Homo-oligomer: A and B are copies of this chain.
Amino acid sequence: MLAKKLGERIKELRKKTGLSQEKFALKINMDRTYFATVEMGKRNVSLQNIEKIAKGLDVTISELFDGIEGESDD
């Protein structure tokens, strides 16, 4: 499921920044609880929030999705 893979990808990249969920959410001005559910793959996240997260991670949206698609899943 895509939301789950995206959440895992975001978590992986967020960890590379060295920031906790809370500090990353603060940095990008997103509710911490909301951001936590994104990482858990429980959100049908919108374009604007995808953009916000990608910017905070310093990657393009294309880079964010690259590598999580095409894997056979389900």
Contacts from A to B (Cβ < 8 Å): 2-3, 6, 43-48, 50-51, 60-63, 65-66, 69-70
Total copies of this chain within the assembly:
2
Closest beta carbon of chain B to A49's beta carbon, Å: 9
Q: Which of B2, B6, B43, B62 contacts A69 (CB 8 A)?
A: B62
Chain A interface SS verdict (over half): helix
A70 touches B65 (CB 8 A): no
- Report A73 CB to chain B, min CB distance, Å: 13
Cα distance A44–B50 in the bound complex, in angstroms: 10
**Could you tell me if A3 and B47 are in contact, using CB atoms closer than 8 angstroms?**
yes
Please tell me if the beta carbons of B48 and A47 are within 8 angstroms of each other in the complex.
Answer: no
